[in-house]
Amino acid sequence: MSAEAVPTSDAAEVVLSAEHLTKRFGDREAVADVSFDVRAGEVFGFLGPNGAGKTTTIRMLVGLARPDRGRVRIRGLDLAHDFRRAMSHVGCIVESPDLYRYLSGRENLVHFSRMLPDGAEGRIPELARLVALNERLDDKVATYSLGMRQRLGIAQALLGSPDVLILDEPANGLDPAGIREIRQLVRRLATDRGIAVFVSSHLLSEVEQTCDRIAIIHRGRTLATGPVRELVDRVASDRVRVIARPSARAAEVLRAFGPAEAAAAVPAEAEGPIEARLTKERIPEALRALAAAGVEVYAVERSLASLEEVFLEVTGGETV
Amino acid sequence: MRFSGLVENEILKFTRQRRFRVVVLILVGLIGLIVFAQSRSRDRFRSGKDWHVETQERMARMQNMLRDNRTPPTWRRWARFELDRLKYHLDRDIDPEAVSGPLFARGFANAASYLLLPLLAIVFASDIVSGEFAQGTIKLLLTRPVGRANVLASKLAALALAITLTILFGGIVAYVFGGIAYGYAGWAAPALTGFRVAGERLDPAAVRSVALWQDTILAYGLAWFASLSVGAIALLTSVLLRSTAAAMGTMLAALIAGTILPRLAPTWEAQKFLFVTNLPLPDYYSGSPPPIAGLTVGFGAAVLAVWALAAVAAAFAVFVRRDVLA
Whole-angstrom Cα distance, residue B151 to residue B147?
A: 7
Q: Has residue A58 got a pLDDT over 90?
A: yes
The two beta strands, A90-93 and A164-168, are: parallel
Interface test with B, best of A96, A100, A166 (most B CBs within 10 A): A100
Residues on chain B touching A56 (C-beta within 8 angstroms) = 325
Whole-angstrom Cα distance, residue A188 to residue A173?
A: 22
Number of CB pairs, chain A paired with chain B, less than 8 A apart? 84
Any CB–CB contact under 8 A between A106 and chain B? no
HSE value, Cβ hemisphere, 13 Å, CA-based, for A44: 30
Q: Residue B11: what residue type?
A: I
Is the Cβ pair B143, A65 closer than 8 Å?
no
Residues on chain A touching B137 (C-beta within 8 angstroms) = 98-100
Any CB–CB contact under 8 A between B324 and chain A? yes
Residues on chain A touching B3 (C-beta within 8 angstroms) = none
pLDDT at residue A318 in the model = 47
Span A256-279, pLDDT tens digits: 888 888 887 888 888 888 988 888
From A96, which residue of chain B is nearest by alpha-carbon distance? B136
Any CB–CB contact under 8 A between B135 and chain A? yes
Span A151-203, pLDDT tens digits: 999 999 999 999 999 999 998 888 888 888 899 999 999 999 999 999 999 88
Angle at B36 between CA B34 and CA B39, to 5 degrees: 105
| pLDDT more than 70, % of chain B | 90
Is the Cβ pair A87, B145 closer than 8 Å?
yes
* CA-CA-CA-CA torsion sign (B253, B259, B264, B266): positive
A230-239, A258-267, A308-317, range with greatest mean pLDDT:
A258-267
Any CB–CB contact under 8 A between A21 and chain B? no
Task: List all residues 6 or more positions away from A308 whose beta carbon is below 8 Å from its beta carbon.
Answer: A218
Q: Which of B17, B135, B143 sits opposite A94 (nearest CB)?
A: B143
- Confidence band (pLDDT; 50, 70, 90) for B190? confident
Residues on chain A touching B17 (C-beta within 8 angstroms) = 102
> Closest Cα of chain A to B107: distance in Å?
37
Q: What is the pTM of this model?
A: 0.83
Closest C-alpha to A152, from A170, A173, A176, A177: A170
Is the Cβ pair A99, B137 closer than 8 Å?
yes
Is the Cβ pair A100, B146 closer than 8 Å?
no
Residues on chain B touching A159 (C-beta within 8 angstroms) = none
Which domains can be identified in chain A, with CATH numbers?
Answer: 14-234 (3.40.50.300), 235-312 (3.30.70.120)
Is the Cβ pair A84, B323 closer than 8 Å?
no
Task: Quote the mean pLDDT of chain B.
Answer: 87
Angle at A110 between CA A109 and CA A115, to 5 degrees: 95
Is the Cβ pair B146, A62 closer than 8 Å?
no
- In chain B, the N- to C-terminal Cα span, in Å, equals 27
Task: Quote the mean pLDDT of chain A.
Answer: 87
Q: Taking phi first (over 0 means left), then psi (-120 to 50 degrees means alpha), and beta for anything else, what does residue B288 get?
A: beta
Q: Has residue B68 got a pLDDT over 90?
A: no
pLDDT at residue A312 in the model = 61
Least confident of A96-100, A270-274, B235-239: A270-274
B153, B3 in Cβ contact below 8 A? yes
Residues on chain A touching B9 (C-beta within 8 angstroms) = 111, 114-115
Any CB–CB contact under 8 A between A96 and chain B? yes
pLDDT at residue B276 in the model = 87
Whole-angstrom Cα distance, residue A139 to residue A142?
A: 8
Any CB–CB contact under 8 A between A173 and chain B? no
Span B126-181, pLDDT tens digits: 999 999 999 999 999 999 999 999 999 999 999 999 999 999 999 999 999 999 98
Residues on chain A touching B140 (C-beta within 8 angstroms) = 94, 98-99, 112, 156
- Confidence band (pLDDT; 50, 70, 90) for B90? confident
DSSP three-state, residue A21: strand
> Closest Cα of chain B to A51: distance in Å?
14
More confident residue, A75 or B47: A75
Interface test with A, best of B2, B17, B135, B140 (most A CBs within 10 A): B140
Any CB–CB contact under 8 A between B137 and chain A? yes
pLDDT at residue B91 in the model = 83
Any CB–CB contact under 8 A between B48 and chain A? no
From B11, which residue of chain A is nearest by alpha-carbon distance? A111
Q: Which of B1, B136, B141 sits opposite A96 (nearest CB)?
A: B136
From B139, which residue of chain A is nearest by alpha-carbon distance? A94
- Report residue A80 CA to chain centroid gap: 26
Is the Cβ pair B144, A112 closer than 8 Å?
yes
Q: Has residue B40 got a pLDDT over 50?
A: yes
